[in-house]
Amino acid sequence: MNSIPADAALAEAEPLPQKQLQVAAWLLACCALVFAMVVVGGVTRLTHSGLSIVEWQPIVGTVPPLNEAQWQETFAKYQLTPEYRKVNHTMGLDEFKGIFWWEYFHRLLGRMIGAVFLLPLLWFWWRGHIDRPLTLKLAGIFVLGGLQGAMGWYMVKSGLVDDPRVSQYRLTAHLVIALAIYAAMLWTALGLLYPGAGAMSRQHAGLRRLSWFITATAAYMVITGGFVAGIRAGLAYNTFPLMDGHLVPPEIFMLDPWYLNFFNNMATVQFDHRLGAWLLAVLVPWFWLKTQRAPTDVRAKLAVNLLFGMLALQITLGIATLLLIVPVPLAAAHQGGAVLLLGAALFANHTLR
């Protein structure tokens, strides 16, 4: 029977340097903030709050309206938008404040993540706690964060036009970049916490390939979920396991040209999202069973157990969200669950290095 190589076991048994633990803890804290950002972003979208702030002011916009005159000025700017004129024309100032605060906290959290990432990064670099390769990697993550902020405003701008609804393409890109930042920080933190990697047996190599395929499928779920949210496809076909009595809805290719169905057709977009869920529902239990039988260490088995449990929770949240026609708390929890599912898949990958 294969066993864990002695040099890998020894590497994991040796205590890690304090500075390495500090950097890893900082990155995991940043991951938690990104998770919160995704959940708040989901609530912002679900409450139709995302178009309430019509300007992008990275510095000045940190301060919200502080008196009645400033609130009236901010509300007056919103009243000029197509969303107010076509959708919320009966809205008063008090109602406007309700949607304003969700978008404000979403943007404020984004600024906070930038500061929490950049300032410790500079401090760790100045103290020599990170080497040059890691510094470059972390600098790349920071640049990706800047791109995420720009994409957020680019997304909002798409809804400040005659059709007051943000582009599903830009919304999905905004979500995917957030998940890419989360994945990069999590993977880097895991590399610092568990630096030892021994030679893999052929059986472990097969498990890792399967694990990466599961991770790719989870990423596919995020992308299709972005389009579901973008065109509000969760408000249609609110039955399970069939889609209004059909395994494959007859409207799946009703648009021409055919490829637009994958982005603009509620039937196709929701079917694609369900397809990813069904695929994971088969792959993850199979992966769990193979891992239990393989000579993997305790950490690998724990990671796969976590992945199995997270998938069960995420599928349950998805079904409940669909059947109850997208209530805000459940839908926000489902969006947050996508982050945790991806994180669990990456953790499983890392344990099988």
pLDDT at 135 over 70: yes
Neighbouring C-beta atoms of residue 81, cutoff 10 Å: 18
CB 189 within 8 A of CB 124: no
Q: Whole-angstrom Cα distance, residue 35 to residue 310?
A: 15
Question: Which class for 293: exposed (0-12), middle (13-18), buried (19 or more C-beta within 10 A)?
Answer: exposed
pLDDT tens-digit series, residues 252-279:
999 999 999 999 999 999 999 999 999 9
Q: Whole-angstrom Cα distance, residue 161 to residue 283?
A: 43
pLDDT of residue 164: 84
CB 307 within 8 A of CB 347: yes
pLDDT tens-digit series, residues 47-72:
999 999 998 887 767 899 999 999 99
CB 39 within 8 A of CB 335: yes
Q: Whole-angstrom Cα distance, residue 332 to residue 321?
A: 9
Q: What share of the chain is helix, strand, coil (3-state, %, to 5)?
A: 75, 0, 25
Closest alpha carbon to 312 in 273, 282, 281 = 281
pLDDT bin (cut points 50, 70, 90) of residue 151 is: very high
pLDDT of residue 23: 95
pLDDT tens-digit series, residues 152-203:
999 998 988 888 889 999 999 999 999 999 999 999 999 999 886 555 566 6
Neighbouring C-beta atoms of residue 44, cutoff 10 Å: 22
Closest alpha carbon to 156 in 80, 233, 51 = 51
Helix (H, G, I), strand (E, B) or coil at 195: coil
